[in-house]
Amino acid sequence: MGRGRGPGRWAARAVVTAYLVLLVAWPLWLVAQHTFADGLDQLRGIVDDPDVAHALRLTVVVAILSVVLNTVFGVGISLLIVRYRFPGRRLLNALLDVPLSVSPIVVGLALVLVYGGRSGWFGPALEDAGLQVVFATPGIVLATTFVALPLVIREVVPVLEEIGTEQEQAAQSLGATAGQTFRRITLPAIKWGVTYGVVLSLARSLGEFGAVKVVSGNVLGETRTATLVVEEKYLNFDQGGAYATAFLLALVAVACIVVVSIIRPKEEPR
Amino acid sequence: MSIEVTGVSKRFGDFVALEDVSVSIPSGRLTALLGPSGGGKSTLLRIIAGLERADAGTVGIEGLDATGLPARKRGVGFVFQHYAAFKHLTVRRNVAFGLEIRKRPKEEIRRRVDELLALVHLEQFADRLPAQLSGGQRQRMALARALAVEPKVLLLDEPFGALDAKVRKELREWLRRLHDEVHVTTVFVTHDQEEALEVADEIVVINDGRVEQIGTPDELYDSPANDFVMRFLGPVTQLGSQLVRPHDVAVAVGADDPDAVAGRVARVVRVGFEVRVEVSTGEQLVLATMTRTEFLRLGVDVGTTVSVRVVPGAPVVPVVPDGSPVRSGLEVHAG
């Protein structure tokens, strides 16, 4: 595959290119085109609207929090899965794919069942303690984190498996503690896996819609995130505003991936 | 004694890697743990280093009970078969690692690392990454890195196993010279009997999780404790009920020697300076090796009637009656 010469190879390239253009590049390009149909007016209108500005800020805060959570726990879980053998390890491994396979809207409903303020399993107790989860920022963070959970892990696990344990053992025999070994040896070895996982998580977190829609309550100026603004504007026939907001979201996500592919070394030293 | 291993046992699931092993390794010497793959020698080395925990038994290092100590507190340097180079650090930073962990002053680290790089002949490669070095150079770097922390004992796990034959030969001669300079107590694991016989002061033969024999290369070669040790140290042939080395089999023309066994030459193979003569004694095929000069002087060929006997004073070992399978000393190590 791919090594053949002649017309077959060109046909394969044409099919792949057409597929990607029709499915990804062209639609995204049209979003950009609609955004700039009236020059910069649409974008300016969006940024000047205090509710939209609040939604954008909320989205960024939520995305950063969930990326931090997913990075810390993701690296920890990856180490657990790769470096230790324990009963239930395979089950845990399988469970980690659930957030990718279950529809986000199911995730949202499930979170309401657990953390719902009135009838949730755990929610009333938290509410009595003064912490409202559902229909508030914590719920949005929770839902976003849940949905993006596997991304860091799936990037880090193969790298950890590849580097093996000998470098870590060598560090220990040279006097390094577990913490020093992790900081000086393991972390530098997996840093590109972590970086890629962080970028994917960030892009995914910025764009999460279904789960957030259920748990946020969609309160204007409070718990409405950028993706919810897009939907709201689109349904209210403010298509220009919808496209402009969508454009901003896509821009940040694409920028993340472009930046990483530029700074990532072409050939990682092995 | 520098390393005292007493009654160590280790299992991996159902597999018994070591069973009640006791070994004393003397200070300042170069000791080889020799044996076939899967015999437990690497496991023993890793238990001494603290990279593996024994199920039973104790490990003492320089008079200190190290059984419960983590690897980082044992004061051992460890060199891995596949180098375990820190890939993101330069050669200099690799060697400096242990000293940086110990928070030594910068100036001291620089001086010590320069000394070590000179010792392993890598001065001009100090600022390269491990990926830019050959296998032999990486292993020398790993050795310098292990020596940097001035370990009480240096442990090497099949240190030359991943290198090609020529580099392997160079490096083991170099290791011998290095040891004569540095004098740190050194233990290395190998499955190559030639490597052990050439380099080590003392050899511990390990097989099936047990110690078969401990001794100097001469002691092992001249008086092997059993048929396993004899077979493992080189080619053997069977004459009557005794195992003997083919070069200790004397061949004479004619069948008139009453102390010898009569037979006919069945095959003659010449390999360089060495000639291998196979003699059929009726029930056995006995192998004798001699130099080409000796062979020409003897003047035999296929079909000649000859008599064979063991050269007086040559080491022999009785064959174990149950006919345990012949284990060759040329097994490929599988990690």
pLDDT at B26 over 50: yes
Instruction: Decide if B300 contacts B284 (C-beta within 8 A).
Output: no
How far is residue A233 from each of residues A207, A243, A252, B147, measured CA to CA in Å? 16, 9, 20, 68
Nearest CA in chain A to B154: A173
| Tokens 């110690």 found at | B211
- B87:A172 CB<8 A: no
DSSP per-residue string spanning B250-290: EEEESS--TTSEEEEEEEEEEETTEEEEEEE-SS-EEEEEE
Q: Looking at residues B91-101, what average pLDDT do you find? A: 96
Q: Which of B189, B187, B217, B182 shows the shortest CA–CA distance to B203?
A: B217
Nearest CA in chain A to B98: A174
Nearest CB among A175, A185, A270 relative to B102 is that of: A175
DSSP per-residue string spanning A143-186: HHHHHHHHHHHHHHHHHHHHH-SHHHHHHHHTT--HHHHIIIII
pLDDT band at residue B2, thresholds of 50, 70 and 90? confident
pLDDT band at residue B333, thresholds of 50, 70 and 90? very low
Within 10 Å of residue A137's Cβ, how many Cβ atoms? 17
pLDDT at B141 over 60: yes
Q: Looking at residues A60-65, what average pLDDT do you find? A: 95
- B97:A171 CB<8 A: yes
Residue B322 DSSP class? T
Instruction: Decide if B228 contacts B236 (C-beta within 8 A).
Output: no
Tens digits of residue pLDDT in B273-290: 899 999 998 888 999 999
Nearest CB among B82, B129, B145 relative to A174 is that of: B145
Within 10 Å of residue B165's Cβ, how many Cβ atoms? 8
Domains of chain B listed by start with CATH number: 3-228 (3.40.50.300), 236-318 (2.40.50.140)
pLDDT at A132 over 80: yes
- Length in residues, chain A: 270
Smallest CA–CA distance, residue A198 to chain B, in Å, is 21
Residue B185 DSSP class? E
Tens digits of residue pLDDT in B157-206: 999 888 888 888 888 888 899 898 888 999 999 999 999 999 999 999 99
Mean pLDDT over the full length of chain B: 90
Q: Which two tokens stand for residue A214?
A: 């259920």
Flag whether residue A165 sits within 8 Å of chain B, measured between CB atoms: no
- 3-class secondary structure, A65: helix
Tens digits of residue pLDDT in A44-53: 888 888 888 9
- 3-class secondary structure, B156: strand
Flag whether residue A250 sits within 8 Å of chain B, measured between CB atoms: no
pLDDT at B62 over 50: yes
DSSP per-residue string spanning B212-242: EEEE-HHHHHHS-SSHHHHHHTS--EEETTE
Better-scored residue on pLDDT, A220 or A25? A25
Burial degree of B333 (CB within 10 A; 0-12, 13-18, 19+): middle
- A189:B142 CB<8 A: no
d(CA B83, CA B139) in angstroms, rounded, equals: 5
- A166:B84 CB<8 A: yes
Q: Which two tokens stand for residue A261?
A: 């592919």
Mean pLDDT over the full length of chain A: 88
What is the reported pLDDT for A55? Answer: 92
Flag whether residue A270 sits within 8 Å of chain B, measured between CB atoms: yes
What is the residue type of B94?
N
What is the reported pLDDT for B230? Answer: 94
**Nearest-5° angle of CA B149, CA B155, CA B159?**
110
- Find chain B residues with C-beta within 8 A of A169's C-beta: 51, 71, 78, 80, 84
How far is residue A25 from each of residues A18, A21, A29, A32, A247, measured CA to CA in Å? 10, 5, 6, 11, 13
Flag whether residue A9 sits within 8 Å of chain B, measured between CB atoms: no
- 3-class secondary structure, A51: helix
d(CA A211, CA B89) in angstroms, rounded, equals: 43
Smallest CA–CA distance, residue B81 to chain A, in Å, is 10
d(CA B267, CA B314) in angstroms, rounded, equals: 24
Tens digits of residue pLDDT in B142-161: 999 999 999 999 999 999 88
pLDDT at B324 over 50: no
- Find chain B residues with C-beta within 8 A of A170's C-beta: 78, 80, 84, 86, 142, 145
- A166:B82 CB<8 A: yes
Q: Looking at residues A224-239, what average pLDDT do you find? A: 90
Q: Which of A19, A62, A106, A13 shows the shortest CA–CA distance to A204?
A: A62
What is the reported pLDDT for A4? Answer: 55
Task: Count contacts between A and B (CB, < 8 Å).
Answer: 65
Tens digits of residue pLDDT in A99-124: 888 999 999 999 998 888 778 888 88
